[in-house]
Amino acid sequence: MDYAVTKALHIIGFVSWFAALFYIPRLFIYDVEAEQREPAARVAIQEQLRMMQRRLWYAIAWPAMIFTVVFGLWTAVPYFLSDVPIGWLHVKLTLILALVIYHLMCGKIRKQLAAGTSRWTSSGLRVWNEVATLLLVAIVFLAVMKNTFDMVKGMVGLFLFAVALMIAIRVYRKARLARAASMQTP
C-alpha cells in the first residue's frame, strides 16, 4: 500500500479515536450528574447515556484505536528501516502507549458506571477529560516537529498548557456553580 494512503488512513483513525476519547468522558460526566435527578428521570437518563456510551465505545472508540495503531505502525516502518535518528518516534510511541492506557481506563470507568460502582465525581471526570487533550497536543507537536523537537521546550510548553487547562476548568466550575446558585434563589 502506498505510504501516503497509509498515512491518510492513520490520520482518519486518530481523528476518530480522539473524537471518541473526547466525547465519552462527557457522557460519563452527564451520567454522574444524573444521580442528582429524581429517581424516574435518573433511570431514564442513565439508561440512555449508558446505551450511548456502549455504542460509542464498541462502534467507534475500539475500531478507531485499532485502525490508528495498525496504520501508525505501518507508517513507522520506513523510519525504523532508515539511518535517520528516530528518538522522537520512541517518545511518540511512549505517548501512544499512555493514550492506550487512557483508553483502557475509560473502558473501566464505563463498566463501573454501568455497574453503579463508580466513585468518580463530575469534577474529577472533567479533569480526566483533559488528559486526552494533553496527549493530543504532545503527540501532534512531536509528530510534526520530529527531529527538530527540543524536548525541554516541549515539556515546558506542555506543562504550561496543562496549567492553563486546569485554570480554565476551575474558572468554568466557578461559573457553573454561580449560575446554578442564581437559578435556585427566587
| Residue ranges making up the domain that contains 29 | 3-184
Average pLDDT over residues 67-88: 83
Q: What is the number of alpha carbons within 13 Å of residue 171 lying toward its C-beta?
A: 6
Average pLDDT over residues 85-110: 91
pLDDT at 134 over 70: yes
pLDDT, residue 149, reads: 61
Q: What is the domain count for the chain?
A: 1
pLDDT at 186 over 70: no
pLDDT at 151 over 70: no
Mean pLDDT score of the chain, rounded to an integer?
89
pLDDT, residue 175, reads: 86
For the annotated binding site, the residues are 10, 92
For the annotated binding site for heme, the residues are 10, 92
Percent over 90 (pLDDT), the chain: 61
pLDDT, residue 113, reads: 97
Mean pLDDT check: name the lowest of 44-48, 156-160, 163-167: 156-160
